[in-house]
Structure 1
């Protein structure tokens, strides 16, 4: 068939109707219709909200379904926001590494600025780079190793208080432990009652901010709506506790901890961090320093409780290498199955399950045009369940990591700590802490999820269990 044969008759009724419609649009100064959008394929949504209802209901399942249905680059809309969901490792590397300077943090990350402020997670450009360089020395491997005795000591102190045969929420217990570890190692402060208050306020803050993110219209925070009043009160509680940490540290002689370093740090112009910036960085580091590791430990023990064979292999490794004592930093190279369990837990339940970047200029990605203002999402939940790289992706199989899998995977097939220049600053800290706590706890206690307990996820900025993790403690 010739190309000319596909051209419609200019006198056809359809063309006359379309021509009238174009003239009508011009008269009313309406946008002219486009015949091709140039967008990747994706699910249809409603006229006003787009795919907001599907995302809000169960976003991780929505991301997974979209990727499996529409391929490595898909598109959907949330209200006025146009989003691309990218699941091909090479395309993810293009966004996070190759074109990183052409992207900024997306609208979702900005939603959490009322609590995170302009800290390391949310700041941009040269300011971010200066702050990163200031904080980096505290997270170098040599420095992190010095934190190991504190991690083991505080873990054993927690175990001494655990009631055998009783039910506890291990999600709360691990959060309390990693919070105490973060305060001691990063801030040089002992745990105290304010820590419980800040954790409760943080949990409420993230819940309310997530609801705000899922809303079609976000009312200004200064409007005294019931939700805004609760949110502002929770943020004020968080700020008060963080301010108390800083005030306590300023009243003490300078130490070798990160908070002392931040207080004393000078920029090239001789100026110091403002009180607001000090608060923002302290808040970010406190949250990043304990929340993600607590979740890794919680989901690790849940998965082990459902897989007794894996737990038995883990206990055999601990018995052979540790013999009942607390783990030390130098032991970790001799605990490959422990590392495999942690890797597999973060594969199935990545503490951070999605990363977003907003295009700061028109860009190309996978043959499509990413317009300035569009958001590109990359979901660890999706990539970590790709059967191409992880056969039987829904199964908990720590053994998959024992044959050098990490070295064979594409860079962004598995990325629980993000990647590129904004790779999580605390990678070594988190992995060492998770291994030390897991081994120290596991040699003394085993966990049984309580009958009738509902175990589900609650996607916020992280991925906590929706109803906690009620388990019965049994001494080995």
Structure 2
């Protein structure tokens, strides 16, 4: 990869506003955004939020996701429903299970790279967004659903576009039955028909022996003998597909964007990759040894966390720094803001994976790309493993040259690179 000046880190307007305002008025401030809200900023604030899960409603905070994920998704669940659903989803995303997916991730990455035209520039974000979607479908749901990965992506897109709006705008689209809302609901109906058909297939006796996550969701039971209903399985399936490729592919785009100005880091990672693997594809056992790749992934998640801001809806009054936060308030915290605070990370806007190689060990609440507390992202191990494997396969084909371009962040709460990240192999 040719040496170039480091690209400017992208900024997300709402998260950037929270960060800048917190520097002026402190880590807590109230405001109005269609409804009362309060933002809390910094490591101590993050820990405070994660320690008080019982004061919040996840469902009310993330109700804008219900049109996509469904009303029974673990993401929009509270209390006992959340704990039960989380227990039943967790086994399929355990580290040992994810290790078994590495070979599939390698195969999908190589298929995507093999399809490129030599010498032509390509949008690494778009190419690997499709690849990560196919990988997610194969690893979580088997080859039957993976064969339809692109069609599922097309059905999901109108729903994902809808949830990129402010919650109150989504409510108005629903009430007015706008063309945007009708398109999204028509896509959801087709998506549901596809997912329910696969659930029903696995529910039959002959489907009990299959090993993918969907089969685990259909047949799994917790210690009390409880399992997921057909509708609950549907909602977990769609949640895992949508979250599994949308946020992971965004993070991949930011990795390539960051490496565009750091040919030295890319070469260090490539050299270590050759030393560890001897030129063969990486295995699950290799990944912990690929410390440069781990540092690159962490730095991209620090500088451009896919969930730049997150929310909780306060149902029980609580107090932070001597200030009362009443029930009925939407509480916002921001991994983006925390990760860009100079008192937490020196030179915070620089893409510096070497800081992780030099022994950086973030304290409580300082590195939170996947949230925290009871609602910490269940797919974090899957995401970091997939990112490591995909970047390893891209680096193995290198070096590459970055096509000069202005890349900005898109999304209301998430960070996606726009218009993409174009590169060409040298």
Say whether the fold is shared (TM-score over 0.5). Answer: yes
Q: Specify the alignment match of 1:84 in structure 2.
A: 38
Q: Specify the alignment match of 1:286 in structure 2.
A: 241
Equivalent residue in structure 2 for 1:101, among 54, 75, 80: 54
Structure 1: distance between partners of 2:157 and 2:316: 35
Q: 4+ residue runs of structure 1 moved beyond 6 angstroms?
A: 267-271
Structure 1: distance between partners of 2:225 and 2:282: 43
Aligned: 1:138 with 2:92: yes
Structure 1: distance between partners of 2:154 and 2:137: 16
Answer yes or no: is the 8 Å Cα contact 1:299–1:345 preserved in 2: yes
Answer yes or no: is the 8 Å Cα contact 2:92–2:213 preserved in 1: yes
Q: Specify the alignment match of 1:47 in structure 2.
A: none
SS in 1 for 2:127: helix
Equivalent residue in structure 2 for 1:173, among 121, 127, 130: 127
Q: Specify the alignment match of 2:411 in structure 1.
A: 459
Structure 2: distance between partners of 1:171 and 1:75: 36
Inter-CA distance 68–204: structure 2 relative to 1 (3 Å threshold): farther
SS in 2 for 1:289: helix
Bigger Rg, which one? 1
Mapping for residues 298-337 of structure 1, pairs under 5 Å: 298-337=253-292
Inter-CA distance 333–103: structure 2 relative to 1 (3 Å threshold): same
Equivalent residue in structure 1 for 2:313, among 344, 358, 383: 358
Q: Specify the alignment match of 1:6 in structure 2.
A: none
Structure 1: distance between partners of 2:346 and 2:224: 54
Aligned: 1:257 with 2:212: yes
Post-superposition Cα deviations, 1:222-276, rounded to whole Å, max 9, x if no partner, equal: 5332332233233334434433543554576331221112112357887753332
* Residue range with higher mean Cα deviation, 140-149 or 266-275: 266-275
Inter-CA distance 472–115: structure 2 relative to 1 (3 Å threshold): same
Answer yes or no: is the 8 Å Cα contact 1:119–1:281 preserved in 2: yes
Mapping for residues 86-235 of structure 1, pairs under 5 Å: 86-97=40-51, 99-105=52-58, 107-117=60-70, 118-190=72-144, 192=146, 194-213=148-167, 215=169, 218-219=171-172, 221=174, 223-235=176-188
Unaligned runs of 5+ in 1: 1-56
Structure 2: distance between partners of 1:286 and 1:194: 12
Structure 1: distance between partners of 2:269 and 2:275: 10
Q: Specify the alignment match of 1:474 in structure 2.
A: 425
Aligned: 1:398 with 2:353: yes
Inter-CA distance 89–319: structure 2 relative to 1 (3 Å threshold): same
Structure 2: distance between partners of 1:460 and 1:239: 26
* Residue range with higher mean Cα deviation, 244-253 or 289-298: 244-253
Post-superposition Cα deviations, 1:116-163, rounded to whole Å, max 9, x if no partner, equal: 112111111101101111121222222221222222222222222222
Report which structure shows greater RCO (CA 8 Å, sep ≥6): 2
Inter-CA distance 315–83: structure 2 relative to 1 (3 Å threshold): same
Post-superposition Cα deviations, 1:318-359, rounded to whole Å, max 9, x if no partner, equal: 222223221111112221111111110111110111121111
Q: Specify the alignment match of 2:385 in structure 1.
A: 432
Inter-CA distance 401–359: structure 2 relative to 1 (3 Å threshold): same
SS in 2 for 1:405: coil
Answer yes or no: is the 8 Å Cα contact 2:112–2:128 preserved in 1: no
* Residue range with higher mean Cα deviation, 132-141 or 196-205: 196-205
Q: Specify the alignment match of 1:243 in structure 2.
A: 196
Unaligned runs of 5+ in 2: 1-11
Structure 2: distance between partners of 1:245 and 1:287: 17
SS in 1 for 2:416: coil
Structure 2: distance between partners of 1:405 and 1:380: 17
SS in 2 for 1:171: helix
Note the C-alpha offset of 1:364.
Answer: 1.0
Answer yes or no: is the 8 Å Cα contact 2:317–2:325 preserved in 1: yes
Answer yes or no: is the 8 Å Cα contact 1:75–1:84 preserved in 2: yes
Structure 1: distance between partners of 2:386 and 2:343: 31
Aligned-residue CA RMSD (Å): 2.4
Structure 2: distance between partners of 1:425 and 1:449: 33
Note the C-alpha offset of 1:106.
Answer: 6.5
Note the C-alpha offset of 1:384.
Answer: 0.4
Q: What is the count of residue pairs matched by the alignment?
A: 412
Inter-CA distance 192–267: structure 2 relative to 1 (3 Å threshold): closer
Structure 1: distance between partners of 2:280 and 2:223: 47
Structure 1: distance between partners of 2:26 and 2:297: 29
